[in-house]
Amino acid sequence: MQNTARKPHKMVSYSKYGYFFILPFFLVYSFFMIYPLINTFVLSFKGNGITSDQFVGLQNYQFLLFGEEGQFSAGAAIQKEFLNCLGNTFILWVGNFVIQLLLSLLLAVWFSDVRVKIKGTGFFKVVMYLPNIITAASVAAIFLMIFGNTKYGAVNSMLLNFGWIKDAFPFINDAWASRILVMIIQSWMWFGNTMLLLMSGIFGIDNSIYEAASIDGSSGLHTFFRITMPILKPIFIYVVITSLIGGLQMFDIPYLLHEGRTIRPTLKTAAVFIYDNFHTAQPNYGYSATASVILFIITAALGVFIYKFNTDSTAPKKAKK
């Protein structure tokens, strides 16, 4: 308003409108994200269950990270569970990420290969992205029925009918079978997405570079490691970061992939731990808030680390030019 007053006539300042346009975003973000984030920090210093109103200082952090004296104490039990959940998250993420990345990298390179064309690329892309848009809750249900524990599960019934196994194999109840199943499901859901992301990076590479390389007699593998990968690095880092952050939040599939009412302890992830602790009749806000804060710190640290790693190693190259 002052601006308008100082510069009368022709010049009208519109800058105040900028604030009006971005106001709804920041109001809603403060109310539904920033305050809840602060609230999470506050709750992490408070008690659990019936003692939710009491201030307990760093006790939750101490319990989750270092446990408590005495084998049967509450702190020791919750530490064991939390560390188990962190371990599961890590195992499931690594397995899923390795399968998914190798597959999508291979496909991305194939689909954008100028020399060797594959028929029906458009169709393949559409089909391979399909699993990504299906509701994760339904995906869990689908695989739960296909890999059911009993002889009524689709795969078990097929294997039994062929006489390849004598008793039904508990795909869901077996610790490692279920973990591998989750890895496969996650890869099944996400490889199409990752492939499309990587492809967009590869298509961004100037074709003349490939032409120059082939004139210089560069082989396919050589071209991949010396040209495609270095140029693909930023988008590769992006894929790693998003997958990592997504992996730390992994919830739907591990949470829903169980028969009956109890969640498989070998599939409990950090996100399941958080959800489980506040989604009960007498919520343990303290534990779940503390776990949230720890997850937040891990996420932020990993993000910063990978970002730094990326910029540090590319900086000298730019300097040389």
Partner 1 sequence: MEYMSKPAKDKDYAPSAAEKRYKRSILIQSSIRFVVCLILSIICLLPLYIILINSTRANSDIIVNGLSVLPSDYFIENLKELNNPEAANGMYTSAYNIFYGYLNSLIVSLGATACAVFFSGLTAYGLTVYDFKLKKAATTFILCVMMVPMQVVSTGFLEFMIQIKLQDSYIPLIIPAIAAPAVVFFMLQYMKSSFPLEIVEAARIDGSGEFMTFLRIALPILKPAFAVQAIFQFVANWNNYYTQSMILLSNDIRMKTMPMMVSAIMSIDTVVDYGVKYMAVLLSILPIIVIYLCLSKFIVKGVALGAVKG
Q: Which of residues 119-148 bind partner 1 (CB under 8 A)?
A: 119-120, 122-131, 133-146, 148
Letter string b/e over residues 142-162, b meaning 16 or more CB atoms within 10 A of that residue's CB: ebbeebbbeeebebbeebbee
Sole binder of partner 1 in the list 204, 212, 308, 309 (CB under 8 A):
204
Q: Is 245 a binder of partner 1 (CB under 8 A)?
A: yes
Sole binder of partner 1 in the list 45, 100, 105, 252 (CB under 8 A):
252
Q: Is 90 a binder of partner 1 (CB under 8 A)?
A: no
Rg (CA), the chain: 26
> Token pair 């559409």 is at which residue?
126
Per DSSP, what are the bridge partners of residue 55?
46
3-state SS, residue 46: strand
CB 160 within 8 A of CB 169: no
Q: Is 280 a binder of partner 1 (CB under 8 A)?
A: no
Task: Measure the CA–CA gap between 137 and 290, rounded to whole angstroms.
Answer: 26
Task: Measure the CA–CA gap between 183 and 243, rounded to whole angstroms.
Answer: 13
Residues 6+ apart with CB under 8 A from 101: 194, 239, 243
Q: Is 154 a binder of partner 1 (CB under 8 A)?
A: yes
Residues 6+ apart with CB under 8 A from 108: 195, 198, 199, 201, 202
Please state the closest distance from residue 70 (CB atom) to partner 1, in A. Answer: 27
Per the structure block, which two tokens stand in for 280? 């009960």
Task: Measure the CA–CA gap between 299 and 31, rounded to whole angstroms.
Answer: 23
Q: Is 247 a binder of partner 1 (CB under 8 A)?
A: no
3-state SS, residue 105: helix
With contacts defined by CB under 8 A, name the span among 62-70, 76-84, 175-183, 236-244 that binds partner 1.
236-244
With contacts defined by CB under 8 A, name the span among 68-76, 174-182, 221-229, 253-261 that binds partner 1.
253-261
Q: Is 7 a binder of partner 1 (CB under 8 A)?
A: no
With contacts defined by CB under 8 A, name the span among 8-16, 78-86, 88-96, 173-181 that binds partner 1.
8-16
Map residues 166-195 to x or -, x wherever contact with partner 1 holds by CB under 8 A: ----------------------x---xx--
Q: Is 165 a binder of partner 1 (CB under 8 A)?
A: no
Q: Is 61 a binder of partner 1 (CB under 8 A)?
A: no
Q: Which of residues 12-51 bind partner 1 (CB under 8 A)?
A: 14-22, 24-26, 28-29, 32-33, 35-43
304/315 with CB nearer partner 1: 304
Q: Is 224 a binder of partner 1 (CB under 8 A)?
A: no
Per the structure block, which two tokens stand in for 113? 């290969």
